Amino acid sequence: MRNTLRALSCVAVVVSVAASCGESTTPADTTAVASTLPSDVPTSLTITVGTAGEPALATATLEIAADGTASGTGFLAAPQRAADAAVLLENPAAVKRLKEGPPPGQACTEIYGGPDTATVRGTFQGGAVEQDFHRSNGCGISDWELFVPLLGRSRWDGEHRVYFREESSIPVAVGTMFTIELDSNATTGYQWQMLPLDGGTVTAGPRTYLEPGGSVVGRGGWDRFPFTANAVGTATITFEYRRSFEPATTPAADTVTFTVQVTA
């Protein structure tokens, strides 16, 4: 009898353990665990770019929902800009840099890439992030180039300021040289064309097209227009995105206008 009871007791224990194991693998429990994974947590970032002396030249936000849908404001407001930034944040190197920062004790070449600075603050993959970026040495330049979809391109060309589409108001002093840079794609036949300037407040140099790096076919580049502020006053600079072979009566695919305020 004792042996029989002992056997039944062992069977009961085995059944109890099996039932417990079965409960831990139900679909409901699996779903609960999956919902807490970092990849399912929405991303919310604020990006501020500037210089050491003027740390907030431009600001943007990036929101990535749990389903991967990306949206942005500021210089990430264009849907393609937000989408490109979201793709960047799937890059393992970018993920590591954003979470951990630059490697401690990293040896960097003494190459100066400009006064650009940037901060990235917010939530990423379930955790808080607070990272700074710069272009004051080789490591900083490499980091910035990796994060261009999130930070934007350098706002400096040597000692001259570069302005982008979202910076429609340009304050400069007489004698200042500056550049306007616009996203473009020469492979489509389109390019930015500047309308004639009124007066002599500012004068323009020749347009140049900057080719994108890499080997992606059809990837867009940038149209650059250099200017010099000649006299105190206000100048309006308007660009139209069109193909050179189209008649002037054809509506432009896009238009952007800058207002330049020149002071003494």
Burial class from Cβ neighbours inside 10 Å (0-12, 13-18, 19+) for residue 61 reads middle
Per the structure block, which two tokens stand in for 219?
Answer: 């990837």
For residue 222, give its domain range: 159-263
Cα torsion through 106, 110, 115, 116, rounded to 10: -40
28-32, 144-148, 180-184: segment of lowest average pLDDT:
28-32
Q: What is the CATH number of the domain that holds 259?
A: 2.60.40.2020
Alpha-carbon distance of 189 to 242, in angstroms, equals 8
CB-based contacts of 198, cutoff 8 Å, min separation 6: 235, 236
Which whole number is the average pLDDT over 198-222? Answer: 86
Instruction: Read off the pLDDT of residues 12-36 as tens digits, 9 standing for 90 and up.
Output: 333 333 333 333 333 333 222 222 3
pLDDT higher at 13 or 152: 152
Cα torsion through 192, 197, 203, 204, rounded to 10: 10
Q: What are the CB-based long-range contacts (under 8 Å, 24+) for 19-27?
A: none
Burial class from Cβ neighbours inside 10 Å (0-12, 13-18, 19+) for residue 60 reads buried
Alpha-carbon distance of 48 to 55, in angstroms, equals 7
Q: Is residue 104 part of a domain?
A: yes
Q: Which of 101, 130, 156 is the last residue of a domain?
A: 156
Q: Is residue 16 part of a domain?
A: no
Global pTM reads 0.77
Which whole number is the average pLDDT over 204-215? Answer: 86
Let me know whether 196 and 116 are in one domain: no
Single-letter amino acid, residue 213:
G
Please give the C-alpha separations between residue 166 and each of 117, 181, 197, 238, in angstroms, as whole numbers: 18, 11, 21, 14
Per the structure block, which two tokens stand in for 75?
Answer: 């210089």
Instruction: Read off the pLDDT of residues 58-84 as tens digits, 9 standing for 90 and up.
Output: 999 999 998 999 999 999 999 999 999
Per the structure block, which two tokens stand in for 39?
Answer: 């990849």
Let me know whether 218 and 145 are in one domain: no
Q: Which of 102, 137, 156 is the last residue of a domain?
A: 156
Let me know whether 148 and 166 are in one domain: no
